[in-house]
Structure 1
Amino acid sequence: MARAIVHMDLDTFFVSCERLTNSELDGIPLIIGGGDRGVVASCSYEARRFGVRSAMPIHMAMKLCPQAKIIKGDMELYSQLSHNVTQVIQEKAPIMEKASIDEFYLDITGMDKFHGSYKWTDELAQSVIKETGLPISFSLSINKTVSKIATGEGKPKGNLEIPEGNVQAFLNPLSIQKIPMVGNVTFQLLSRIGVRTIQTLSEMPAEVLQQMIGKNGLDIWKKANGIDHTPVEPYTERKSISTEHTFSQDTIDIIMLKSILIGMVEKLAFQLRSEQWLTSTITVKIRYANFDTETKQCKIAYTSADHILTKNVMELFDKVYQRRMRLRLIGIRFSGLVRGTYQIDLFEDTEEMLSLYAAMDKMKSRYGFDAVMRCAGASFKPNNKDEILKRTK
């Protein structure tokens, strides 16, 4: 029996959230972002007609669409509205995976025995729109890849169903850029040898593609052929992520303590970005030589950026470490987590800052966390046996 996998995507989510709270924004070109040197976090379809796209520098977007209205963005609002949508879907769907702040996968295999799968999904989408006021698109097919591609093709108003027998016919004429995992570098590489459509890619020998692209080559070839056995993972919210460092000898060395804290932040922030989380609450913990334990906590705008988190951690440490006694343990916890990515988080950041983090994360993912680190955090050894990395569901 073929699987029935639904992909649901909230249309221009940040824009829709802003319009939900301010109807005067309806119908006008709208850009969510910030700062003259910042980047576009999201934009309305009215702005897209002028060539504006996500991750584009704000100054470039304004040249393309000077009449657009720019709004800084409110991650707290977006998180709350995303939570509302999640609740509506989770109450009705048998298995739901929340892939990001505005994207969901559902496994409704077997439901056609009791309801029409497409009809059931359409009714769920209408429930989301009615109960939250937010527009949502969906597609139904045999796996995640085909459903996700179909949702993009159906936006903003069409909802597609791609039956098993129509999968390859649907995929073949599309650009290879429609395949998840095919970024600009891979697209340019394949374009140079004349591979621009999914059909051409699907007809290539898988071994050749692996030799050209590496380990992801086989996965991309499978997706081009409509093959994706990735399961829908049941959704559970992670509450926090934390790490602690216990010293072999109690210490009062402030410079070393702060260096270790910087390294701890860098490790946790990289993990947040890797798993697509944003944090809104920071807690710093210390334990004195006499085992007295104290903590300080602060709320921040949702982020996963090292430089913002480090600044707040240092301020908390200065507030909590008041007794000039030796310390035996320091720890950091990030909580109040929501799904999101670095790109949609840093409304104030520059294109250069985004590129720097992307490059660092790529090196860490490929060569290990130690591959590139800030000099200030070099005292922190992520493989230290005394370090405890905690994850709380």
Structure 2
Amino acid sequence: MNTPLRSIAHFDLDAFFVSVEVLKNPSLRGKPLIVGGDGQRGIVAACSYEARKFGIQSAMPSLTAKRLCPQAVFLKGSYHEYSHYSRLVTQIIADAVPLYEKASIDEFYVDLTGMEKFFGVSRYTRELREKIIRETGLPISYGLSANKLVSKMATNEAKPNGFLEVAHGKETDFLWPLTVDKIPMVGKQTQEQLRAIGIDRIGQLAATPVQQLEFVFGKWGRKLWEKANGMYDSPVEAYSEQKSLSHENTFGEDSSDVPFLHKELVRLTEKNAYDLRKEEKFTGCVTVKLRYDDFTTVSKQEVIDYTALDNVLLAKVKDLLTKLYQRGRKVRLVGVKFSHLVPMSMQMNLFDNSAEKLQLFKAVDTIKDQFGKGAVMKATGLPPGKKNS
């Protein structure tokens, strides 16, 4: 039996933060918009295509953006709104396709292999895009090809608010005229190294002997050659909101001491948050679990705005404990679970003042890696008798 040719679509919500802001306030349409702080230490988290014409881009200091475009409109933005619309698009895709991967808050891969028997992949993908636009009001682009790499690159060429389909066998026709910086993960340093050996276009890269590339770049050289030739076999990884990170603890002695229960949940939450950041993920749902001394087990979960910040997660865990715990009852086990996991996106990391907080928590993570997870923790998470030692 012949293996069917793969059909992989890559969907990307165009200038997602900005598009949501325009949806909320249509009078902003067509203006140079910047989502991010506008103070001395502000960073551009996202910008409209009108702002990009002035040379503004994500991760740029806001003061630089102001200098490039004094008339730009700065918006603080809303984690809540972006999380809401991300979930809305996710649900539309989940209802429409058998297998999809949520690559970030605004980016999706969809495996449509085999569906040509029933619908016609090209038509079905276009109709899915139209449905997302119709039901959310947000612009979205897609690329369709035989693999994730080519589809993502096709999406980038199709933006804004368009689509590009690369037929099977035509991958190199599409890739080779493009410049090497269009390849995902090829940064300025790699681009400069390639130019130093006379390579500017992907076609030139594809024609370069693998041994020469490996001599310059090591193992990355072969990967570059494979990408230049449209070779990429990474599968679409099925997304499930049930995939989770969790920690729990069974006590040596049952307890009804609320400060003690809170301290244990702080400790477990910090362990979860550490694991979350190590996996470069955000969570969108928090669950607290209690098991009483009679083995009755109860839990409560709430959907939250996507985050990886300790302070946000600890506040939600404390709130859930307050809602869940029946005072006076002895508890033998507590647990914390994070689910609805999505890969971190650069834009969310740069958002508002969360960038500084995330870097702070990552710095603490580094200390834990070096000296052990118990090297740094909140005072409320310390074992009894340790706070003043």
1:8 aligns with 2:16: no
Find the counterpart in structure 1 of residue 282 from structure 2: 277
Aligned positions of 1:21-36 closer than 5 A: 21-34=24-37, 36=39
Q: Is the 8 A contact 1:38 1:350 kept in 2?
A: no
Q: Is the 8 A contact 1:141 1:147 kept in 2?
A: yes
After TM superposition, the structure 1 stretch with the greater mean CA deviation from structure 2, 238-247 or 51-60, is 238-247
Q: Which amino acid aligns with 1:13?
A: F
Q: Is the 8 A contact 2:269 2:314 kept in 1?
A: no
Q: Is the 8 A contact 1:190 1:196 kept in 2?
A: yes
Cα distance in 2 between the residues matched to 1:287 and 1:116 = 51
Number of residue pairs matched?
Answer: 373
Aligned positions of 1:284-295 closer than 5 A: none
Aligned positions of 1:292-303 closer than 5 A: 301-303=305-307
Among all aligned residue pairs of Structure 1 and Structure 2, give the percentage whose two residues are the same amino acid: 45
* 1:263 Cα deviation from its structure 2 partner: 8.5
Find the counterpart in structure 2 of residue 383 from structure 1: none
1:109 aligns with 2:105: no
Q: Which amino acid aligns with 1:12?
A: A
After TM superposition, the structure 1 stretch with the greater mean CA deviation from structure 2, 189-198 or 35-44, is 189-198
Find the counterpart in structure 2 of residue 388 from structure 1: none
* 1:16 Cα deviation from its structure 2 partner: 1.4
Cα distance in 1 between the residues matched to 2:93 and 2:296 = 45
Query: What is the TM-score of this pair, normalised by structure 1?
Result: 0.75
1:77-120 Cα offsets, whole Å, 9 max, x none, are 22222222222223222332222221122222333344443222
Q: Secondary structure at the match of 2:234?
A: coil
1:149-196 Cα offsets, whole Å, 9 max, x none, are 011011114321111332112111222222223234433443443433
Find the counterpart in structure 2 of residue 386 from structure 1: none
Which stretches in structure 2 are left out of the alignment for 5+ residues? Answer: 380-389
Find the counterpart in structure 2 of residue 149 from structure 1: 153
> Residues 212 and 277 from structure 1, CA distance in 2 versus in 1: closer, same or farther, beyond 3 angstroms?
farther
Find the counterpart in structure 2 of residue 140 from structure 1: 144
Cα distance in 2 between the residues matched to 1:313 and 1:154 = 42
Q: Which amino acid aligns with 1:61?
A: A
* 1:294 Cα deviation from its structure 2 partner: 10
> Residues 28 and 343 from structure 1, CA distance in 2 versus in 1: closer, same or farther, beyond 3 angstroms?
closer
Cα distance in 2 between the residues matched to 1:267 and 1:308 = 13
1:106-154 Cα offsets, whole Å, 9 max, x none, are 2223333444432222122112111221111112111110010011011
Q: Is the 8 A contact 1:139 1:147 kept in 2?
A: yes
Find the counterpart in structure 1 of residue 273 from structure 2: 268
Cα distance in 1 between the residues matched to 2:189 and 2:164 = 29
Q: Secondary structure at the match of 2:169?
A: helix
Cα distance in 1 between the residues matched to 2:300 and 2:228 = 51
Q: Among residues 37, 48, 58, which one is paired with 1:54 in the alignment?
A: 58
Cα distance in 2 between the residues matched to 1:274 and 1:297 = 22
Q: Among residues 188, 191, 216, which one is paired with 1:187 in the alignment?
A: 191
